[in-house]
């Protein structure tokens, strides 16, 4: 009985630790060539929610919904411009434990411009996404 409780506590702790970091992510500034630089030398973290969107049963991409929505995105875009001028103008979230490109989003339906990694099992494709409404670029 004690062994089962210890196992439960161990896995609960791991689950808690994984979820406690999932809502905070680092920020980079990117360009359309898949190049990027750390915003403020990697000292900028943003709160929000990391989500996954499935396009088919196996094809998906991740995105990060910003707390503060478009105002937070505009602030990050201005900071990228102030630091790098026109060379790296697209703020993007960076998960230090993955090589996938993910965009910021205002909601599940509205993604901000940036590079997206689409993944299908072992296949990964990077594409540039631009909001069709063109109000965020």
- Per residue in 16-61, pLDDT (tens digit) is 444 434 589 999 999 988 899 999 999 999 999 999 999 999 899 9
For the chain, give every domain's residue range: 24-129
User: Tokens 């360009």 — which residue?
Assistant: 31
- Say if residues 114 and 66 touch (Cβ distance below 8 Å): no
Give pLDDT, residue 15: 41
The candidate with the shortest Cα–Cα distance to 46, out of 78, 30, 23, 62, is 23
Residues with Cβ within 8 Å of 112's Cβ and at least 6 positions away in sequence, in order, are: 73, 91, 103, 104, 105, 106, 131, 136
**Sign of the torsion formed by the C-alpha atoms of 12, 107, 75 and 103:** positive
Asked whether residue 66 carries a pLDDT value surpassing 90, the answer given is yes
- Per residue in 78-111, pLDDT (tens digit) is 999 999 999 999 999 997 778 889 999 999 999 9
Give pLDDT, residue 22: 53
């Amino acid at each position: 009985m004690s062994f089962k409780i210890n196992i439960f506590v161990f896995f609960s702790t791991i689950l808690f630790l994984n979820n406690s970091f999932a809502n905070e992510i680092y920020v980079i500034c990117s360009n359309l060539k898949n190049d990027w630089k750390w915003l403020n030398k990697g000292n900028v973290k943003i709160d929000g929610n990391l989500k996954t969107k499935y396009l088919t049963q196996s094809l998906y991409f991740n995105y990060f919904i910003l707390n503060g929505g478009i105002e937070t995105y505009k602030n990050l875009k201005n900071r990228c411009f102030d630091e790098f001028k026109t060379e790296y103008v697209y703020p993007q979230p960076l998960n230090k434990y993955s090589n996938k490109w993910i965009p910021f989003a205002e909601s599940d339906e509205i993604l901000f411009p940036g590079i997206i990694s689409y993944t299908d099992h072992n296949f990964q494709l990077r594409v540039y996404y631009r909001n069709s409404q063109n109000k965020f670029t």
